[in-house]
């Protein structure tokens, strides 16, 4: 009888111990109380959903980002904060790890970042072209010349107003290349720097009846409000090539690596490339950008 009672007591003690142990194990696994649940929240729920995009003003002024960013956010759940500045400033944000991804158009400066380890996963996205615009009366007589360098030389000779972005943007870098080919160091009253994006620079050139170098997309998007005409276009040297690339997460701990990669993948995806190719056709009768994912840069414009 005593033996039976001892067995019952022993059974009860074992049951109590097992219950306590089960409770501890359950708490550690995060399945039985709120504190455990919070500690073991799946990564997808605490994942950083915010992406900082450093990009050039032309992607914003043209309206392209207004179309693509909502599509990306809807598809992936990320939230994009675009900062549209000159390409030089956009690349500088990458240099300090203040952006997660960059969409810019200065190939040589981009490659410097790749070689230094600032940027990774650089992908060709699209291109359009640069054009020289000015007043219809064309005081420098550049209409009909074959190269931008020749046009710039005639502008200098006429001391006609030229409005430069002067902001180290991709457009400004291209402009500086053209001045070098023309053998001119620009300066003087005729040469004015806006220090602003492409849209504002076009507005200033229009108001002052001056010339400027612009990407075609921004010009077409703002054309109805400008007293400027295309006076030079079609030169092979005036291609305007855009790449997207991640800021290197191994170099900067705070960079959203997953978000940056998702953004790059989205921009080179066939569906996105199709949207890029059709952008602007309904309003302007022509696409503002030509999709280039999967192509070689040296083959563009051929």
CA distances from 32 to 15, 16, 18, 26, 41 (A): 19, 18, 16, 6, 13
pLDDT above 80 (res 45): no
> pLDDT tens, 233-268?
999 889 999 999 999 999 999 999 999 999 999 999
Does the CA dihedral 12-15-19-25 come out positive or negative? positive
Q: Which H or E element spans position 119?
A: strand 119-134
Q: In the chain, what are the helix, strand and coil shares in percent, each to the nearest 5?
A: 50, 20, 30
Q: Are strands 119-134 and 212-215 parallel, antiparallel or unpaired?
A: antiparallel
Predicted confidence at residue 190, as pLDDT, reads 97
pLDDT above 70 (res 46): no
Q: How far apart are CA 34 and CA 39, in angstroms?
A: 9
CA distances from 65 to 43, 98, 203, 250, 252 (A): 29, 20, 21, 28, 26
End-to-end CA separation in angstroms for the chain: 101
- Structure tokens, 70: 């909502």
> pLDDT tens, 56-90?
999 999 999 999 999 999 999 999 999 999 999 99
Q: How far apart are CA 233 and CA 227, in angstroms?
A: 17
- Structure tokens, 139: 């005081």
What are 81's strand-pairing partners?
A: 52
CB 140 within 8 A of CB 155: yes
CB 94 within 8 A of CB 119: yes
Q: How far apart are CA 152 and CA 238, in angstroms?
A: 14
Q: List domains and CATH numbers for the chain.
A: 48-127+240-297 (3.40.190.10), 129-238 (3.40.190.10)
pTM here?
0.79
pLDDT above 60 (res 110): yes
Alpha-helical runs (H) found in 138-296: 148-158, 170-182, 198-207, 216-222, 257-268, 270-278, 281-284
In the chain, what percentage of residues exceed pLDDT 90?
Answer: 80
Predicted confidence at residue 13, as pLDDT, reads 44
Q: At what angle do helices 107-116 and 87-95 cross, to 10 degrees?
A: 0
Low-confidence winner among 1-5, 95-99, 179-183, 227-231 (lowest mean pLDDT): 1-5
Instruction: Provide φ and ψ at 131, rounded to 5°.
Output: -135, 155
Mean pLDDT of the residues in the chain = 87
Q: How far apart are CA 177 and CA 21, in angstroms?
A: 74
Q: Are strands 101-104 and 79-85 parallel, antiparallel or unpaired?
A: unpaired
């Amino acid at each position: 009888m005593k033996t039976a009672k001892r067995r019952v007591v022993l059974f009860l003690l074992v049951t109590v111990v097992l219950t306590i142990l089960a409770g501890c194990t359950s708490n550690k696994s995060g399945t039985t109380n709120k504190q455990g649940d919070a500690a073991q929240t799946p990564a997808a729920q605490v994942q950083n959903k915010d992406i900082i995009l450093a990009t050039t003003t032309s992607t914003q002024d043209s309206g392209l980002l207004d179309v693509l960013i909502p599509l990306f956010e809807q598809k992936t759940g990320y939230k994009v904060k675009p900062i549209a500045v000159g390409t030089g400033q956009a690349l500088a944000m990458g240099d300090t790890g203040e952006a997660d991804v960059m969409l810019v158009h200065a190939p040589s400066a981009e490659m410097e970042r790749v070689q230094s380890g600032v940027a990774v996963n650089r992908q060709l996205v699209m291109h359009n072209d640069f054009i020289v615009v000015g007043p219809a009366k064309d005081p420098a007589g550049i209409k009909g010349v074959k190269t931008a360098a020749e046009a710039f030389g005639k502008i200098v000779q006429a001391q006609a107003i030229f409005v430069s972005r002067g902001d180290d943007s991709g457009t400004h870098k291209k402009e500086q290349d053209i001045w070098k080919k023309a053998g001119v160091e620009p300066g003087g009253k005729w040469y004015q720097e806006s220090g602003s994006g492409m849209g504002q620079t076009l507005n200033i050139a229009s108001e002052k009846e001056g010339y400027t170098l612009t990407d075609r997309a921004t010009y077409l998007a703002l054309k109805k409000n400008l007293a400027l005409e295309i006076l030079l276009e079609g030169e092979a040297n005036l291609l305007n090539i855009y790449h997207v690339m991640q800021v290197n997460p191994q170099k900067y701990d705070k960079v959203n690596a997953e978000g940056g990669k998702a953004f790059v993948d989205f921009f080179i995806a066939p569906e996105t490339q199709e949207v890029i190719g059709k952008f602007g056709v309904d309003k302007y009768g022509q696409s503002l950008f030509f999709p280039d994912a999967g192509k070689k840069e040296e083959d563009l414009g051929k």
